[in-house]
Amino acid sequence: MIRTSPPNATAAAPHAGTEDGIHREVEHVMGMPISLALRGRQARSTAGRQAWRAVVAELREIDAVFSTYRAESFVGRLGRGEIAVEDCPALVAEVLELGRRAELESAGAFSIMLPDGRGGRRLDPSGVVKGWAAQRAAAQLAGLDDTDFCLSAGGDLICRVADPGRPAWRVGIEDPCDVDRVLAVVPVRCGAVATSGSARRGSHILDPRTGGAADGPASVTVIGHDLTWADIDATAAFVHGDRAADWLRTRSLISAMVVRRDGSTVVVDGRESASARSGPSPAGR
């Protein structure tokens, strides 16, 4: 679980209203709370309210296409073999390609084709759709001039600070061993934060390679450049279990934190990982 707070304040869950110069909104979409914090020129303007309504509308449209709980959704019909990919909106092919790439890059720790319990596989792109949909909808907010935003999708965040003179958003990473405690507070100016773990929802993450519950660490938090891949990488790393930190060092990210079940932590610095992957400079050879 991730929490946001105004600068120099204790981390707290977003809610509707205005405080400390920050305007907040919240809706329930795609089976989860979607919340927004805005600050700056358009925080309480008509343009800001229209952008928020556009975010919610886009997420509802995406849910109608991808929901695995609606029998009439394109993904539901595709999974039952009633239609082909070519019969679906182009967004479906985009998400399927993201899923294919994620499965390849994670060595199967992430997949949108999950065991169906009968020896076969079922289509479930939900692991891609959540972060991808929020990242896509956040484009509705990026056009607000001189306005910072923090968009939360079920606790995972997309943050932007438009004015270099304003402070970063403070993102609290919850301690999975004590959910009333914030383990760390990370400043984020432009990026995304996603966490995978079992503290609040139990063993809900499947290992697509075995079909059973993933034997992961207590939690994995990834701070990345966009929520699509931060969310995918957090899930895949969790499924990798004891190898979570090592696998994250192969990824293009800003930073990550793995909390082991004994409460100890491992921090991955994406800059150091990128340097190690690129090898020594010519002068250092």
Q: What is the pLDDT of residue 4?
A: 58
**What is the spatial distance between Cα 167 and Cα 113, in angstroms, rounded to a whole number?**
41
Q: Is 55 exposed, middle or buried (0-12, 13-18, 19+ CB in 10 A)?
A: buried
Q: Alpha carbon of 40 to those of 14, 160, 163: distances in Å?
A: 17, 11, 9
- 279 pLDDT band, cuts 50/70/90, is low
Q: What is the mean pLDDT of the chain?
A: 90
**What is the spatial distance between Cα 131 and Cα 229, in angstroms, rounded to a whole number?**
8
- pTM, two decimal places: 0.90
- 3 pLDDT band, cuts 50/70/90, is low
Residue 167 per-residue DSSP state: P
Main-chain phi, psi angles of 263, to 5 degrees:
95, -10
- For the cut 70, the answer to whether the pLDDT of residue 206 exceeds it is yes
**What is the spatial distance between Cα 231 and Cα 233, in angstroms, rounded to a whole number?**
5
Q: What is the pLDDT of residue 272?
A: 79
| Mean pLDDT computed over 192-199 | 93
- 275 pLDDT band, cuts 50/70/90, is low
- 5 pLDDT band, cuts 50/70/90, is low
- 200 pLDDT band, cuts 50/70/90, is confident
- For the cut 60, the answer to whether the pLDDT of residue 15 exceeds it is no
Half-sphere exposure of 107 (CA within 13 A, CB side): 9
Predicted confidence (pLDDT) per residue in 100-113, tens digit: 999 999 999 999 99
Q: What is the pLDDT of residue 283?
A: 44
Predicted confidence (pLDDT) per residue in 54-87, tens digit: 999 999 999 999 999 999 999 999 999 999 999 9
Lowest mean pLDDT, pick from 12-26, 130-144, 208-222, 231-245:
12-26
- 199 pLDDT band, cuts 50/70/90, is confident
Lowest mean pLDDT, pick from 62-76, 201-215, 256-270, 271-285:
271-285
Q: What is the pLDDT of residue 198?
A: 85
**Domains of the chain with CATH codes:** 2-9+18-278 (3.10.520.10)
**Residues with Cβ within 8 Å of residue 38, at least 6 apart in sequence:** 22, 23, 24, 25, 44, 48, 52, 141, 144, 147, 148, 149
